[in-house]
Amino acid sequence: MDSKDLFALALGLTKPWYVARNELDTANRQLEIGIDFERGGTFPCPECGQAGCKAYDTEERRWRHLNFFQFETVLSARVPRIDCGSCGKRPVQVPWARSGSGFTLLFEALLLTMVPHMPVAAAARLVGEHDTRLWRVIHHYVDQAVATRDDSVRDRREGRFDGGAVRRRPLGPRWRTSLDQRSLHGHVTGVHQGGP
């Protein structure tokens, strides 16, 4: 097992994804982990779930990840688009990030843990990001939590509440296993609005 295998384990990557390279830039204190997929690897369609779709083409993407020690860490990957017979060409859902986000799910989880306890501007300084980027993430989860709460209230009003289950919207695989909507809602409603 080499360092690439260790990073793959730490990131929880499963086939066809693997760590192809990692580059440590000591002068700029940056670590870039390059992820790739095995030749001929297949993916489920992000729309209909049809399994076994092959890559049609790819697009280079980058995501800010949690720091490894003092090194600012970035994941990069070529993300395939599949050509689903029913849905057309769609970029696949990568397991480490939410669709459309420039941060990994672990980075977003860290952010949501920080913001109830400090102003967003202070969190932004701590992680070395512009606060507008962080606010975009926070707004996404606030909107999602509010929508889930509204669904739950409506279900209860219409007699569809089953005495404990709260309807869940699809989240990335890590979120589904580690956070439920109720605890997320508790986090995001405590967000500080003010400056430092």
The footprint of Zn ion (CB under 5 A) covers 45, 47-48, 50, 84, 86-87
In sequence order, which residues have a C-beta less than 8 Å from that of residue 55 and are 6 or more positions away? 37, 41, 43, 80, 81, 82
Give the shortest CB-151-to-Zn ion separation in angstroms: 25
Q: Which is nearer to Zn ion, 34 or 80 (CB)?
A: 80
Q: Which is nearer to Zn ion, 55 or 110 (CB)?
A: 55
Amino acid at 123: A
In sequence order, which residues have a C-beta less than 8 Å from that of residue 109 and are 6 or more positions away? 174, 175, 178, 179
Q: Which is nearer to Zn ion, 47 or 59 (CB)?
A: 47
Give the Cα separation of 93 and 53 in Å (integer). Answer: 12
Give the shortest CB-123-to-Zn ion separation in angstroms: 37
Give the shortest CB-15-to-Zn ion separation in angstroms: 21
Give the shortest CB-142-to-Zn ion separation in angstroms: 30
Give the Cα separation of 98 and 157 in Å (integer). Answer: 31
Q: Which is nearer to Zn ion, 84 or 111 (CB)?
A: 84
